[in-house]
Amino acid sequence: MLPGGGKVAVSDIVLKDHSDRGTPFWVKMALRLMGIPACNLWSVDQYRNKLAPMGYENDVTVQLVGEQVFKGWSFLPTRLLKHLDYALIVATKPAINIEPPKKKRVAIIGSGLAGLSSAHYLLTSKDAADFDVDIYEANDRPGLAGNTELIGEQLVDVPARMACLGYYDQYMNLLEELDIPTTVVRTDSSFYGSDGRSGHVCHGYGQNSFVNVYNAIFIGGLGKLWQMASALSKLNDDIDGHEEQITFGEWMQRNLGVSSEAQTSECKTNGVDKQPTQDLPSLTCHSNPFAYIMCGSLAWMLSCTWSDLWNYPADIVLPYCRGLKMDRLGVGREGQVVRVLPSIKALERALLYGVRKLHLGSRVAAMDGTKVVNGVKYDAVIVATEAKAVSKIVRNCSEVFDKFKYHPSTIYLHTDPTFMPPNKRDWKCWNVEMSSGRKEPQLTFWLNEFYPDSNFDGHVFQTWAPTHAPVEETIITRSDFERVVHSKETRSYITKIGREQGNDGIYYAGSYCVYGMGLLEQALVSGKEASDRVLNDLLAPPKDVTSLETDVAPLKAMIIGAGPSGLVAAKYLLESKNPTYDVTIVESSDSIGGSFMNKVYDNCRLVSSKYLTAFSDDRMSEDTEICPDHPSTTQYVDYLKSYAERFGLRQHIHFGSTVVSVKDAESRNDVTDNKLGDDSNGYEVQYNNHKNQIITGDYDVVAVCSGLHNIEYVPKSFLPSSSDKKNTNIATKFKGQIIHSSQYKNPSIFAEKRVLILGCGETAMDIAHRAVSNPRCKSVALSVRRGFLSIPHNLAKDRPLDVFITNLFEHAYEHPWVHAYRLRWVLSTVFIRLFLFLTGSSLGFNQWAVQTGPVKRGYHIINKSHAAMGHLNVPVKRKSLWGRFWMWVYQEGGLRPIESFHKTEVTEVEDDGVTVIFGDGRKYAADLIVLATGYKQSFPFLDDKIRKEFREESVRARDEHNSCGGDMGKYSIEEEHLPKEHFIISKTRPHLGFIGFVRPNVGAIPPMSELQVMWWLEKMRGNVKTLDLKPGTPPSYMVLGRKYPYGVDYGNYMHRVAEDIDAAPTLSTLAKSSRPLQALYTYCIGQSMVSLFRLQGPYESKICWRVATGELWRVCMKRGFAENCGLLYMTWLSFLMNAIACTLECLWCILTLKKPKFFVRY
DSSP string, 968-1033: --TTPPP-----SBTTTBBTTBTTEEE-S--EESSS-HHHHHHHHHHHHHHHHHT---PPPPPTTP
Question: Using CB atoms within 10 A of its CB, is residue 170 exposed (0-12), middle (13-18) or buried (19+)?
Answer: middle
* Number of Cβ within a 10 Å radius of residue 68: 8
pLDDT of 963 over the 70 cut: no
The packing angle between helices 209-233 and 248-256, to 10°, is 100
Helix (H), strand (E) at residue 340: strand 337-340
* Number of Cβ within a 10 Å radius of residue 664: 20
What are the beta bridge partners of residue 89?
10, 62
For residue 666, the number of C-alpha atoms closer than 13 Å in the C-beta half-sphere is: 3
Residue 1025 contacts residue 1062 (beta carbons within 8 Å): yes
Cis ω on the peptide bond leading into residue 579 (within 30° of 0)? yes
Residue 461 contacts residue 416 (beta carbons within 8 Å): yes
Share of the chain above pLDDT 70, in %: 83
Q: Which residue has the higher pLDDT, 20 or 811?
A: 811
pLDDT of 354 over the 80 cut: yes
Picking from 11-15, 18-22, 1024-1028, which range would have the lowest pLDDT averaged per residue? 18-22
Give the Cα separation of 391 and 367 in Å (integer): 10
* Average pLDDT score, the chain: 83
pLDDT of 264 over the 50 cut: no
Taking only the tens place, the pLDDT of each residue in 702-751 is 999 998 777 888 888 887 764 545 545 788 889 999 999 999 999 999 99
* Number of Cβ within a 10 Å radius of residue 19: 11
pLDDT of residue 320: 84
Number of H helices, E strands in the chain: 38, 46
Residue 1016 pLDDT level (bands cut at 50, 70, 90): very high
Taking only the tens place, the pLDDT of each residue in 57-113 is 667 788 888 888 877 777 778 888 888 888 888 888 776 555 556 789 999 999 999
pLDDT of residue 825: 83
pLDDT of residue 856: 85
* Number of Cβ within a 10 Å radius of residue 903: 15
Residue 321 contacts residue 517 (beta carbons within 8 Å): no
DSSP secondary structure string, 1067-1117?
HHHHHTSSSHHHHHHHHHSS---GGGGGSSSTT--HHHHHHHHTHHHHHHH
Segments of 456-554 assigned E as strands: 461-464, 475-485, 506-508
pLDDT of 147 over the 60 cut: yes
Give the Cα separation of 908 and 886 in Å (integer): 36
The packing angle between helices 209-233 and 289-302, to 10°, is 90
Residue 1104 contacts residue 616 (beta carbons within 8 Å): yes
Give the Cα separation of 524 and 516 in Å (integer): 12
Picking from 204-208, 532-536, 833-837, 1120-1124, which range would have the lowest pLDDT averaged per residue? 204-208
Identity (one letter) of the amino acid at 161? R
pLDDT of residue 582: 94
Taking only the tens place, the pLDDT of each residue in 436-479 is 778 889 999 999 999 998 889 999 999 999 989 999 999 999 99
Give the Cα separation of 457 and 480 in Å (integer): 25
- Which one, of 842, 831, 827, 858, lies nearest residue 965 by Cα? 858
